[in-house]
Structure 1
Protein backbone atom coordinates (compact mmCIF):
# COMPACT_ATOMS: atom_id res chain seq x y z
CA UNK A 1 0.00 0.00 0.00
CA UNK A 2 2.84 2.39 0.85
CA UNK A 3 4.52 1.71 -2.50
CA UNK A 4 1.28 2.23 -4.44
CA UNK A 5 0.56 5.50 -2.62
CA UNK A 6 4.08 6.75 -3.36
CA UNK A 7 3.83 5.92 -7.07
CA UNK A 8 0.40 7.60 -7.28
CA UNK A 9 1.61 10.70 -5.44
CA UNK A 10 -0.94 10.44 -2.64
CA UNK A 11 -0.86 9.58 1.05
CA UNK A 12 -1.63 6.16 2.47
CA UNK A 13 -4.54 7.76 4.31
CA UNK A 14 -6.00 8.98 1.01
CA UNK A 15 -5.51 5.54 -0.52
CA UNK A 16 -7.37 3.92 2.36
CA UNK A 17 -10.17 6.46 1.89
CA UNK A 18 -10.42 5.58 -1.81
CA UNK A 19 -10.60 1.89 -0.91
CA UNK A 20 -13.39 2.53 1.58
CA UNK A 21 -15.32 4.48 -1.06
CA UNK A 22 -14.77 1.57 -3.53
CA UNK A 23 -13.05 3.92 -5.97
CA UNK A 24 -10.41 1.26 -6.57
CA UNK A 25 -10.90 -2.51 -6.66
CA UNK A 26 -9.66 -4.59 -3.73
CA UNK A 27 -6.11 -5.94 -3.88
CA UNK A 28 -5.20 -9.54 -4.58
CA UNK A 29 -4.49 -11.26 -1.28
CA UNK A 30 -2.02 -14.01 -0.44
CA UNK A 31 -2.50 -14.78 3.22
CA UNK A 32 -2.04 -11.49 5.07
CA UNK A 33 -0.26 -9.84 2.12
CA UNK A 34 -2.23 -7.50 -0.17
CA UNK A 35 -0.85 -7.11 -3.68
CA UNK A 36 -1.59 -4.06 -5.85
CA UNK A 37 -0.76 -3.88 -9.54
CA UNK A 38 -0.65 -1.52 -12.52
CA UNK A 39 -4.45 -1.62 -12.75
CA UNK A 40 -4.73 0.02 -9.32
CA UNK A 41 -2.11 2.62 -10.23
CA UNK A 42 -3.91 3.45 -13.48
CA UNK A 43 -7.19 3.86 -11.59
CA UNK A 44 -5.57 6.22 -9.05
CA UNK A 45 -4.08 8.35 -11.84
CA UNK A 46 -7.50 8.48 -13.49
CA UNK A 47 -9.08 9.62 -10.22
CA UNK A 48 -6.48 12.39 -9.92
CA UNK A 49 -7.07 13.52 -13.52
CA UNK A 50 -10.85 13.57 -13.09
CA UNK A 51 -10.59 15.49 -9.82
CA UNK A 52 -8.47 18.09 -11.62
CA UNK A 53 -11.27 18.41 -14.19
CA UNK A 54 -13.82 19.19 -11.51
CA UNK A 55 -15.45 15.79 -11.03
CA UNK A 56 -16.60 14.97 -7.51
CA UNK A 57 -15.64 11.77 -5.71
CA UNK A 58 -19.27 10.64 -5.83
CA UNK A 59 -19.33 11.24 -9.58
CA UNK A 60 -16.03 9.40 -10.03
CA UNK A 61 -17.37 6.45 -8.03
CA UNK A 62 -20.41 6.27 -10.32
CA UNK A 63 -18.18 6.48 -13.40
CA UNK A 64 -15.95 3.73 -12.03
CA UNK A 65 -18.97 1.51 -11.45
CA UNK A 66 -20.25 2.14 -14.99
CA UNK A 67 -16.77 1.49 -16.36
CA UNK A 68 -16.32 -1.75 -14.38
CA UNK A 69 -19.71 -3.09 -15.46
CA UNK A 70 -19.53 -1.93 -19.08
CA UNK A 71 -19.37 -4.27 -22.04
CA UNK A 72 -15.93 -5.61 -22.90
CA UNK A 73 -14.11 -4.89 -26.12
CA UNK A 74 -14.84 -8.45 -27.29
CA UNK A 75 -18.57 -7.77 -27.13
CA UNK A 76 -18.06 -4.42 -28.83
CA UNK A 77 -16.13 -5.77 -31.81
CA UNK A 78 -18.07 -9.02 -32.10
CA UNK A 79 -16.30 -11.45 -34.41
CA UNK A 80 -13.72 -8.92 -35.55
CA UNK A 81 -12.94 -5.22 -35.92
CA UNK A 82 -14.91 -3.07 -38.39
CA UNK A 83 -13.72 -3.48 -41.97
CA UNK A 84 -13.63 0.24 -42.75
CA UNK A 85 -13.74 2.01 -39.38
CA UNK A 86 -10.71 2.45 -37.12
CA UNK A 87 -11.26 1.74 -33.41
CA UNK A 88 -9.61 4.15 -30.96
CA UNK A 89 -8.11 3.32 -27.57
CA UNK A 90 -8.49 5.94 -24.85
CA UNK A 91 -7.76 6.23 -21.16
CA UNK A 92 -10.73 7.39 -19.06
CA UNK A 93 -9.06 10.79 -18.58
CA UNK A 94 -8.53 11.15 -22.34
CA UNK A 95 -12.23 10.46 -22.86
CA UNK A 96 -13.09 13.09 -20.23
CA UNK A 97 -10.82 15.59 -21.99
CA UNK A 98 -12.58 15.03 -25.33
CA UNK A 99 -16.02 15.59 -23.81
CA UNK A 100 -15.33 18.24 -21.20
CA UNK A 101 -17.96 18.06 -18.47
CA UNK A 102 -20.13 15.62 -20.43
CA UNK A 103 -18.70 12.29 -19.30
CA UNK A 104 -21.37 11.19 -16.83
CA UNK A 105 -22.36 7.67 -15.76
CA UNK A 106 -25.57 8.04 -17.77
CA UNK A 107 -23.77 9.09 -20.95
CA UNK A 108 -21.11 6.42 -20.49
CA UNK A 109 -23.76 3.73 -20.08
CA UNK A 110 -25.70 5.04 -23.11
CA UNK A 111 -22.57 4.99 -25.29
CA UNK A 112 -21.81 1.43 -24.19
CA UNK A 113 -25.40 0.31 -24.82
CA UNK A 114 -25.26 1.88 -28.27
CA UNK A 115 -22.08 -0.02 -29.04
CA UNK A 116 -19.82 3.01 -29.34
CA UNK A 117 -17.66 2.15 -26.32
CA UNK A 118 -16.20 -0.96 -24.78
CA UNK A 119 -13.61 -1.59 -22.08
CA UNK A 120 -10.29 -3.39 -22.30
CA UNK A 121 -8.49 -3.49 -18.98
CA UNK A 122 -7.84 0.12 -17.98
CA UNK A 123 -8.59 1.45 -21.45
CA UNK A 124 -11.76 2.43 -23.26
CA UNK A 125 -12.18 1.47 -26.92
CA UNK A 126 -14.36 3.55 -29.24
CA UNK A 127 -15.50 1.56 -32.24
CA UNK A 128 -15.01 4.35 -34.80
CA UNK A 129 -12.46 7.15 -35.02
CA UNK A 130 -14.79 9.07 -37.34
CA UNK A 131 -17.77 8.80 -34.99
CA UNK A 132 -15.60 9.83 -32.04
CA UNK A 133 -14.36 12.92 -33.88
CA UNK A 134 -17.86 13.91 -35.00
CA UNK A 135 -19.35 13.38 -31.53
CA UNK A 136 -16.69 15.47 -29.80
CA UNK A 137 -16.99 18.20 -32.47
CA UNK A 138 -20.77 18.42 -31.91
CA UNK A 139 -20.24 18.68 -28.15
CA UNK A 140 -17.70 21.48 -28.70
CA UNK A 141 -20.41 23.26 -30.71
CA UNK A 142 -22.58 23.29 -27.60
CA UNK A 143 -24.80 20.26 -28.25
CA UNK A 144 -25.16 18.09 -25.09
CA UNK A 145 -23.60 14.65 -25.39
CA UNK A 146 -26.87 13.06 -24.27
CA UNK A 147 -28.59 14.60 -27.32
CA UNK A 148 -25.78 13.43 -29.61
CA UNK A 149 -26.17 9.87 -28.31
CA UNK A 150 -29.96 9.95 -28.75
CA UNK A 151 -29.47 11.12 -32.33
CA UNK A 152 -26.89 8.36 -32.82
CA UNK A 153 -29.41 5.74 -31.75
CA UNK A 154 -31.95 7.04 -34.29
CA UNK A 155 -29.32 7.20 -37.04
CA UNK A 156 -28.37 3.60 -36.21
CA UNK A 157 -31.95 2.47 -36.87
CA UNK A 158 -32.07 4.21 -40.26
CA UNK A 159 -28.56 3.01 -41.18
CA UNK A 160 -29.49 -0.61 -40.44
CA UNK A 161 -32.56 -0.25 -42.66
CA UNK A 162 -30.46 1.25 -45.47
CA UNK A 163 -27.86 -1.52 -45.15
CA UNK A 164 -30.60 -4.16 -45.37
CA UNK A 165 -32.07 -2.45 -48.44
CA UNK A 166 -28.74 -2.32 -50.26
CA UNK A 167 -27.72 -5.86 -49.25
CA UNK A 168 -31.02 -7.37 -50.38
CA UNK A 169 -30.77 -5.60 -53.74
CA UNK A 170 -27.19 -6.76 -54.37
CA UNK A 171 -27.76 -10.32 -53.17
CA UNK A 172 -30.76 -10.71 -55.47
CA UNK A 173 -28.37 -10.29 -58.38
CA UNK A 174 -25.01 -11.32 -56.96
CA UNK A 175 -23.12 -12.96 -54.09
CA UNK A 176 -21.57 -12.07 -50.71
CA UNK A 177 -18.26 -11.00 -52.33
CA UNK A 178 -20.24 -8.60 -54.53
CA UNK A 179 -21.74 -7.05 -51.40
CA UNK A 180 -18.29 -6.32 -49.99
CA UNK A 181 -17.01 -5.06 -53.35
CA UNK A 182 -19.98 -2.75 -53.96
CA UNK A 183 -20.30 -1.27 -50.46
CA UNK A 184 -18.51 1.98 -51.49
CA UNK A 185 -21.42 2.60 -53.90
CA UNK A 186 -23.90 2.32 -51.03
CA UNK A 187 -21.83 4.73 -48.97
CA UNK A 188 -21.77 7.26 -51.80
CA UNK A 189 -25.53 7.00 -52.34
CA UNK A 190 -26.24 7.62 -48.66
CA UNK A 191 -23.79 10.54 -48.50
CA UNK A 192 -25.30 12.16 -51.62
CA UNK A 193 -28.89 11.66 -50.48
CA UNK A 194 -28.12 13.06 -47.04
CA UNK A 195 -26.46 16.09 -48.62
CA UNK A 196 -29.51 16.69 -50.81
CA UNK A 197 -31.83 16.17 -47.85
CA UNK A 198 -29.91 18.79 -45.86
CA UNK A 199 -30.25 21.16 -48.83
CA UNK A 200 -34.01 20.66 -48.82
CA UNK A 201 -34.16 21.10 -45.05
CA UNK A 202 -32.21 24.37 -45.16
CA UNK A 203 -34.36 25.71 -47.99
CA UNK A 204 -37.49 24.97 -45.96
CA UNK A 205 -35.92 26.72 -42.97
CA UNK A 206 -35.04 29.77 -45.11
CA UNK A 207 -38.57 29.84 -46.50
CA UNK A 208 -40.03 29.62 -43.00
CA UNK A 209 -37.80 32.42 -41.75
CA UNK A 210 -38.77 34.61 -44.70
CA UNK A 211 -42.49 34.06 -44.16
CA UNK A 212 -42.15 35.17 -40.55
CA UNK A 213 -39.96 38.16 -41.30
CA UNK A 214 -41.50 41.55 -40.30
CA UNK A 215 -40.71 42.79 -43.81
CA UNK A 216 -42.50 39.95 -45.57
CA UNK A 217 -45.64 40.70 -47.53
CA UNK A 218 -48.89 39.95 -45.68
CA UNK A 219 -51.98 39.91 -47.96
CA UNK A 220 -54.23 40.73 -44.99
CA UNK A 221 -52.28 43.91 -44.17
CA UNK A 222 -54.57 46.89 -45.09
CA UNK A 223 -51.56 49.13 -45.56
CA UNK A 224 -49.87 46.78 -48.03
CA UNK A 225 -49.15 48.59 -51.27
Structure 2
Protein backbone atom coordinates (compact mmCIF):
# COMPACT_ATOMS: atom_id res chain seq x y z
CA UNK A 1 0.00 0.00 0.00
CA UNK A 2 1.07 3.62 -0.46
CA UNK A 3 1.68 6.05 2.36
CA UNK A 4 -1.68 7.76 1.83
CA UNK A 5 -3.56 4.50 2.42
CA UNK A 6 -1.42 3.65 5.44
CA UNK A 7 -2.09 7.10 6.89
CA UNK A 8 -5.82 6.79 6.28
CA UNK A 9 -6.02 3.34 7.87
CA UNK A 10 -4.06 4.53 10.91
CA UNK A 11 -5.94 7.84 11.12
CA UNK A 12 -2.67 9.75 10.99
CA UNK A 13 -1.31 12.39 8.66
CA UNK A 14 1.27 11.52 6.04
CA UNK A 15 3.64 13.99 7.70
CA UNK A 16 3.32 12.13 11.01
CA UNK A 17 4.23 8.82 9.38
CA UNK A 18 7.25 10.39 7.71
CA UNK A 19 8.29 11.95 11.01
CA UNK A 20 8.08 8.54 12.70
CA UNK A 21 10.37 7.18 9.99
CA UNK A 22 12.76 10.10 10.40
CA UNK A 23 13.22 9.52 14.14
CA UNK A 24 13.51 5.77 13.66
CA UNK A 25 10.39 4.41 15.36
CA UNK A 26 8.84 3.24 12.07
CA UNK A 27 10.90 1.07 9.73
CA UNK A 28 11.40 2.19 6.10
CA UNK A 29 9.07 1.02 3.33
CA UNK A 30 10.15 -1.17 0.47
CA UNK A 31 10.48 0.48 -2.92
CA UNK A 32 9.21 -0.33 -6.37
CA UNK A 33 11.27 2.07 -8.43
CA UNK A 34 10.50 5.49 -6.95
CA UNK A 35 7.29 4.34 -5.24
CA UNK A 36 7.41 3.66 -1.48
CA UNK A 37 5.32 0.63 -0.52
CA UNK A 38 4.08 -0.23 2.96
CA UNK A 39 2.62 -3.48 4.32
CA UNK A 40 0.88 -4.92 7.37
CA UNK A 41 4.06 -4.74 9.44
CA UNK A 42 3.89 -0.94 9.20
CA UNK A 43 0.23 -0.97 10.25
CA UNK A 44 1.10 -3.16 13.25
CA UNK A 45 3.94 -0.84 14.23
CA UNK A 46 1.73 2.25 14.04
CA UNK A 47 -0.87 0.55 16.21
CA UNK A 48 1.80 -0.33 18.76
CA UNK A 49 3.12 3.24 18.75
CA UNK A 50 -0.39 4.62 19.30
CA UNK A 51 -1.06 2.23 22.16
CA UNK A 52 2.20 3.06 23.90
CA UNK A 53 1.61 6.78 23.39
CA UNK A 54 -1.88 6.50 24.89
CA UNK A 55 -0.35 4.74 27.89
CA UNK A 56 1.99 7.67 28.55
CA UNK A 57 5.21 6.64 26.84
CA UNK A 58 7.27 9.38 25.21
CA UNK A 59 8.55 9.03 21.63
CA UNK A 60 12.03 8.33 23.00
CA UNK A 61 10.68 5.47 25.11
CA UNK A 62 8.61 4.20 22.20
CA UNK A 63 11.76 4.12 20.10
CA UNK A 64 13.12 1.48 22.48
CA UNK A 65 9.86 -0.44 22.77
CA UNK A 66 9.16 -0.34 19.01
CA UNK A 67 12.40 -2.04 18.00
CA UNK A 68 12.05 -4.38 15.04
CA UNK A 69 12.88 -7.40 17.21
CA UNK A 70 10.47 -8.39 19.99
CA UNK A 71 11.01 -6.19 23.00
CA UNK A 72 12.18 -8.26 26.02
CA UNK A 73 9.52 -6.64 28.20
CA UNK A 74 6.73 -7.74 25.85
CA UNK A 75 8.24 -11.22 25.59
CA UNK A 76 8.37 -11.39 29.38
CA UNK A 77 4.75 -10.32 29.72
CA UNK A 78 3.64 -12.93 27.20
CA UNK A 79 5.51 -15.55 29.22
CA UNK A 80 7.14 -17.08 26.15
CA UNK A 81 8.36 -16.15 22.71
CA UNK A 82 6.50 -19.20 21.33
CA UNK A 83 3.16 -18.84 19.60
CA UNK A 84 0.43 -21.06 18.17
CA UNK A 85 -1.68 -20.75 15.04
CA UNK A 86 -5.45 -20.99 15.42
CA UNK A 87 -5.44 -24.64 14.30
CA UNK A 88 -2.56 -25.46 16.65
CA UNK A 89 -4.42 -23.76 19.49
CA UNK A 90 -7.53 -25.86 18.84
CA UNK A 91 -5.52 -29.08 18.66
CA UNK A 92 -3.37 -28.37 21.73
CA UNK A 93 -6.32 -27.33 23.90
CA UNK A 94 -8.52 -30.25 22.89
CA UNK A 95 -11.37 -27.75 22.57
CA UNK A 96 -14.10 -27.68 19.95
CA UNK A 97 -13.07 -25.37 17.08
CA UNK A 98 -16.39 -23.52 17.22
CA UNK A 99 -15.91 -22.71 20.91
CA UNK A 100 -12.40 -21.39 20.30
CA UNK A 101 -13.61 -19.25 17.40
CA UNK A 102 -16.44 -17.81 19.50
CA UNK A 103 -13.97 -17.00 22.29
CA UNK A 104 -11.71 -15.20 19.80
CA UNK A 105 -14.60 -13.31 18.19
CA UNK A 106 -15.81 -12.21 21.64
CA UNK A 107 -12.35 -10.81 22.42
CA UNK A 108 -11.75 -13.20 25.31
CA UNK A 109 -8.76 -14.73 23.55
CA UNK A 110 -6.67 -12.33 21.53
CA UNK A 111 -3.99 -12.93 18.91
CA UNK A 112 -0.56 -11.47 19.51
CA UNK A 113 -1.06 -9.06 16.59
CA UNK A 114 -4.13 -7.92 14.69
CA UNK A 115 -2.88 -9.01 11.27
CA UNK A 116 -1.49 -12.43 12.16
CA UNK A 117 -3.73 -14.91 13.96
CA UNK A 118 -1.13 -16.40 16.28
CA UNK A 119 -1.71 -16.82 19.99
CA UNK A 120 0.46 -16.93 23.09
CA UNK A 121 1.00 -20.32 24.73
CA UNK A 122 -0.60 -18.98 27.93
CA UNK A 123 -3.92 -18.93 26.06
CA UNK A 124 -4.10 -22.71 26.46
CA UNK A 125 -4.71 -22.57 30.21
CA UNK A 126 -7.57 -20.10 29.69
CA UNK A 127 -9.24 -22.38 27.17
CA UNK A 128 -8.85 -25.45 29.35
CA UNK A 129 -10.34 -23.65 32.34
CA UNK A 130 -13.31 -22.60 30.22
CA UNK A 131 -13.84 -26.17 29.02
CA UNK A 132 -13.83 -27.45 32.60
CA UNK A 133 -16.55 -24.95 33.50
CA UNK A 134 -18.61 -26.08 30.52
CA UNK A 135 -18.11 -29.71 31.53
CA UNK A 136 -19.32 -28.80 35.03
CA UNK A 137 -22.64 -27.72 33.52
CA UNK A 138 -22.29 -23.95 33.09
CA UNK A 139 -24.23 -22.89 29.94
CA UNK A 140 -21.89 -21.66 27.22
CA UNK A 141 -23.82 -18.48 26.34
CA UNK A 142 -24.06 -17.41 29.98
CA UNK A 143 -20.36 -18.16 30.57
CA UNK A 144 -19.39 -16.06 27.53
CA UNK A 145 -21.62 -13.19 28.70
CA UNK A 146 -20.04 -13.25 32.17
CA UNK A 147 -16.54 -13.49 30.74
CA UNK A 148 -17.10 -10.51 28.42
CA UNK A 149 -18.36 -8.38 31.34
CA UNK A 150 -15.32 -9.39 33.37
CA UNK A 151 -12.95 -8.66 30.47
CA UNK A 152 -14.40 -5.16 29.99
CA UNK A 153 -13.71 -4.24 33.62
CA UNK A 154 -10.30 -5.91 33.72
CA UNK A 155 -9.15 -4.09 30.59
CA UNK A 156 -9.95 -0.72 32.13
CA UNK A 157 -8.00 -1.56 35.30
CA UNK A 158 -5.10 -2.97 33.27
CA UNK A 159 -4.86 0.25 31.23
CA UNK A 160 -4.57 2.24 34.46
CA UNK A 161 -1.94 -0.19 35.77
CA UNK A 162 0.19 0.11 32.61
CA UNK A 163 -0.05 3.90 32.77
CA UNK A 164 1.11 3.76 36.39
CA UNK A 165 4.06 1.51 35.56
CA UNK A 166 4.98 3.63 32.54
CA UNK A 167 4.99 6.76 34.69
CA UNK A 168 7.36 5.32 37.28
CA UNK A 169 9.45 2.92 35.16
CA UNK A 170 9.56 4.78 31.86
CA UNK A 171 12.96 6.41 32.38
CA UNK A 172 14.76 3.12 33.05
CA UNK A 173 16.47 1.01 30.39
CA UNK A 174 14.68 -1.78 28.54
CA UNK A 175 16.66 -4.41 30.47
CA UNK A 176 15.79 -2.78 33.79
CA UNK A 177 12.12 -2.50 32.84
CA UNK A 178 12.03 -6.19 31.98
CA UNK A 179 13.67 -7.20 35.26
CA UNK A 180 11.32 -5.02 37.32
CA UNK A 181 8.18 -6.21 35.54
CA UNK A 182 9.26 -9.86 35.83
CA UNK A 183 9.48 -9.38 39.60
CA UNK A 184 6.25 -7.44 40.15
CA UNK A 185 3.98 -9.13 37.59
CA UNK A 186 3.48 -12.31 39.68
CA UNK A 187 2.76 -10.14 42.74
CA UNK A 188 0.16 -8.03 40.94
CA UNK A 189 -1.41 -11.12 39.38
CA UNK A 190 -1.60 -12.84 42.76
CA UNK A 191 -3.09 -9.73 44.37
CA UNK A 192 -5.83 -9.45 41.76
CA UNK A 193 -6.54 -13.20 41.76
CA UNK A 194 -6.78 -13.40 45.55
CA UNK A 195 -9.00 -10.33 45.73
CA UNK A 196 -11.36 -11.83 43.15
CA UNK A 197 -11.33 -15.17 44.99
CA UNK A 198 -12.11 -13.50 48.33
CA UNK A 199 -14.93 -11.46 46.77
CA UNK A 200 -16.34 -14.56 45.08
CA UNK A 201 -16.33 -16.49 48.37
CA UNK A 202 -18.11 -13.61 50.11
CA UNK A 203 -20.76 -13.54 47.39
CA UNK A 204 -21.24 -17.31 47.60
CA UNK A 205 -21.68 -17.03 51.37
CA UNK A 206 -24.21 -14.24 50.99
CA UNK A 207 -26.13 -16.25 48.38
CA UNK A 208 -26.24 -19.30 50.66
CA UNK A 209 -27.42 -17.23 53.62
CA UNK A 210 -30.19 -15.67 51.53
CA UNK A 211 -31.24 -19.12 50.31
CA UNK A 212 -31.31 -20.34 53.91
CA UNK A 213 -33.49 -17.45 55.02
CA UNK A 214 -35.94 -17.98 52.18
CA UNK A 215 -36.20 -21.75 52.78
Q: TM-score, normalised by structure 1?
A: 0.41
Q: Which has the higher contact order (CA 8 A, sep 6+)?
A: 2
